[in-house]
Structure 1
Amino acid sequence: MLLLLIIPVYLILNLYILHRVHKWLTACSALFHSRWFIVPYITIYSLLAFSLLFAFLLPASRPQALIKRLSNYWLGTFLYILLCIGIADLLRLILKHTHGILHAFFFCRTGYILAGMLLTLVVMAVSFYGIIHSNHLYVTPYEITLDKSCPGHKQLKIVLAADLHLGYNVGEKQIRQMVDAVNEQDADLVLFAGDIFDNEYEAVQNPEKLAQLLSEIRSTYGSWAVFGNHDVSERLLGGFSVGSGTHNLRDPRFENFLEKAGIQLLDDQVCSIDDAFYLVGRKDAQKPGDGTRNRKSPEELLSGLDHSRPVFVLEHQPRQLKELEKAGADLQLCGHTHDGQLFPGNLTVKLFWENPCGYLQKGRLHSIVTSGVGVWGPAMRVGTDGEICVVTVKFEGDETTQY
């Protein structure tokens, strides 16, 4: 289990931070050598470090929710404390074998104190920026052209949203902002590409109000959704699954919520809309929500369709681009990646996904991946934006075009 590997690493890294911060503080003043400081310092730091565990172990309640939110802020701050101290120690290691002004500065007491103060300011500034920025929502436009006809339409405007993660980090304020942004687009179709929830239905703040807000979304052909890997009933520790993840079941309240919100669920299903185009919704590749990892293949879903009509595929994770293109899909719309959410994740995410975020064309298939509306784990965004995507699909085929 991945979690069993992560826990000892997390503990070791926290001990490393405790040691390095205390060493810097004692360089600043001899007062920090006192046990009257050391004991409270270790206690407060330990409470922050273990807030993830406390939030996991406590039963659902108002105190548990507050601790969970605190742990989400801590997780992002912890990342940047570790990153800054790690870079500083690496620089010191390099400069240790050099001579000159930089060596003299970094290895004298004054330089050491000033460097620590600078790192403290950087961590605080980045963390506050990340928290504030995570509440901003942007509109990202895309335009694609298909060599197909769509009866009754020269073009379609699709709004794509994903990764709402309704729960501890996302509530009424963010959803109202999103609904207003969606309605400004005058869309033909509104699609939600999974991770609507954050695993725990109990974490959703005022679900009746949220469903009512989502029901206010306006579009020609309504709102449609698929579920993602977080749309299963599961307790997370620091954002990570504690169980094997192979037998996770979907909470029936998730589907009831969508019904109240006027959002139609596509669960490995195909819908012909207005006899003009197809909308295909796929189960999540990791956690379909039925206790298995089974879902239909692109060929199973798309065979038998009239491929002279546009075929839009909605799924959570941007997988199987080659298979979808071969099966005849024209447009794949996904979320999941968050574009890495936090620097340097926005750089490393490119190593794991063919299309980590944005637009990619693979043969005849157009792939669009959104960075999402909400956040997972750390309640921050650094180097990425929360967004909805507005995809204008133009049609240049004629009624006789066949595929």
Structure 2
Amino acid sequence: MEQLLLINIIFLFAILPVLYIRRTFFRRNIFLGRFLGNYIFLAHYMFFLLIVLGIVNYFFYHLSGLNILILSLIILPIFFIYAYNNFSKPRVIRDEIHLDKYSENKKMRIAFISDVHLSALTSKKNIENSLERIKEEEPDILLIGGDLVDFSCRDIKSNFTNSFRAITPRLGIYSIVGNHEYHGGVHENIKYIRSLGIKVLKDDVLNIEGLNIIGRDDITNKKRKKLAYLTKKIDMDFPTVVLDHNPISIDEAIANKIDLQLCGHTHRGQFFPYNLLVKKMYKNYHGYKIFGTTHTIVSSGFSSWLIPYRVNSTSEINIIDIYY
């Protein structure tokens, strides 16, 4: 058993030099990119499975090497199917937000997604199936919380223009940029996002049917505008929604009396044990939480970067009915 654990530890860390190579090569090679994503996930859960079987072997029942092999061959495929299903089939999360300090008796249905991570590895079928689910919800507006592009738009093999243009909310589709758009060349990636029929907000403000929307630049840009500066450009007597990719800025939203902040970035840790680490990093790392008069929603993401699996996390679509 000890030998198996040692072999798995070597297996787990042997990939680290390849992670550096991926920066210039693996992103554009579909086969090698998929291999790397599956390798990382398999290495993690082989490691945890062997620890669990080791505990069983030591305290409860002696397992032979053959028993361990058979159990691994049964458990791991089932686990992979479960984790892939969590990744490939976003669940719809519904929330109602009542902003009682406004009394115009208006309602807007917002569809919110984040972290699509379009790349050479993206399954067009999965994306189109998920976009169709959004269309079925008949949102008034679709907001995208950054990282629509995983790295460089040049790496994207499939044509997603018609896929996104098929979603036609009456008030349009708006997106901000995230850290991944910056990693791959933000200006070119913005041009690509606009080609999909999506309006990009980069420290921009607008008012749509009596609702202020502030789309912030990503925190990657150290020169991005302060939220206090952006709020001076709008009438704060109207309800205000802020799109900001990284939820580290939630305290800033609270200080500026923002009504609703929508974020992504965290992926809810994507899989154990990173869920636990990410939870400690943010005031709200996932889901709907209220701080004073500021409502916050952090999406676990519409898809994922590199690793097509999720554990204790699912891909998701947020449908928000906001009353103001």
Q: How does the TM-score come out when normalised to structure 2?
A: 0.89
**Is the Cα contact below 8 Å between 1:312 and 1:332 reproduced in 2?**
yes
Which of 157, 165, 168 is equivalent to 1:215? Answer: 165
Shift, 1:394, TM fit = 1.1
Match of 2:155 among 203, 207, 215: 203
Instruction: Report the counterpart of residue 256 of structure 1 in structure 2.
Output: 191
Q: Spell out, residue by residue over 1:220-257, the C-alpha distance to the aligned partner (whole angstroms, 9 max, x if none).
A: 211101011111244xxxxxxxxxxxxxx42x331122
How far apart are 1:357 and its partner, in Å? 0.9
Q: Is the 8 A contact 2:110 2:143 kept in 1?
A: yes
Distance 2:253 2:27 in 1: 41
Deviations 1:322-364 (A, max 9, x none): 3212212100011111112113333433211111111000011
Task: Measure how far apart 1:21 and its partner are.
Answer: 9.5
Structure 2 stretches of 5 or more lacking a match? none
* Contact 2:30–2:121, Cα closer than 8 Å, also in 1: no
In the alignment, what sits opposite 2:273?
A: 344
Alpha-carbon RMSD? 2.8
The answer as to 2:97 corresponding to 1:163 is: no
Counterpart pick for 2:200 among 265, 269, 286:
265
Q: 2:78 aligns with which of 122, 125, 129?
A: 125
Correspondence for 2:32: 67
Distance 1:21 1:284 in 2: 36
Which residue matches 2:212?
278
Q: 1:140 to 1:60 in 2, by over 3 A?
A: closer
Asked if structure 2 preserves the Cα contact closer than 8 Å seen for 1:134 and 1:386, the reply is: yes
Instruction: Map residues 48-63 of structure 1 onto 2, 5 A cutoff.
Output: 52=19, 55-56=22-23, 58=25
User: Is the aligned partner of 1:308 residue 2:258?
Assistant: no
Write the distance in 1 (CA, Å) between the matches of 2:23 and 2:89.
28
2:287 is matched with 358
Confirm or deny: 8 A CA contact 1:157 1:392 kept in the other structure.
yes
* Preserved contact between residue 102 and residue 239 of structure 2 (Cα < 8 Å): yes
Change in 2 beyond 3 A, CA 1:124/1:189: same
Pairwise CA distance, 1:49: 7.7
Letter paired with 2:118: L
User: Does 1:331 pair with 2:260?
Assistant: yes
The answer on 1:138 being equivalent to 2:126 is: no
User: Retained in 1: the 8 A contact 2:271–2:310?
Assistant: yes
Partner of 2:174: 224
Cα 1:59–1:362 change in 2 (3 A) is closer
C-alpha distance in structure 2 between counterparts of 1:346 and 1:318, whole Å: 15
Separation of aligned partners in 2, 1:184 and 1:313: 25
Give aligned-pair identity as a percent. Answer: 25
Q: What TM-score comes out, normalization by structure 1 length?
A: 0.72
Q: Which runs of 5+ in 1 are unaligned?
A: 1-14, 23-41, 96-101, 235-248, 396-403
Change (3 A) 1:298 1:79: same
SS in 2 for 1:134: helix
Q: Deviation per CA, 1:298-337, whole angstroms, max 9, x where unpaired?
A: 2111135322211000111112323212212100011111
Q: Is the 8 A contact 1:60 1:202 kept in 2?
A: no
The offset of 1:81, in angstroms, is 0.9
* Stretch deviating more after TM superposition (384-393 or 118-127): 118-127
Output the amino acid matched with 2:266.
Answer: T
1:368-387 correspondence to structure 2 within 5 Å: 368-387=297-316
Structure number with greater Rg is 1
CA distance in 1, matches of 2:9, 2:198: 50
Change (3 A) 1:78 1:194: same
Match of 2:43 in 1: 78
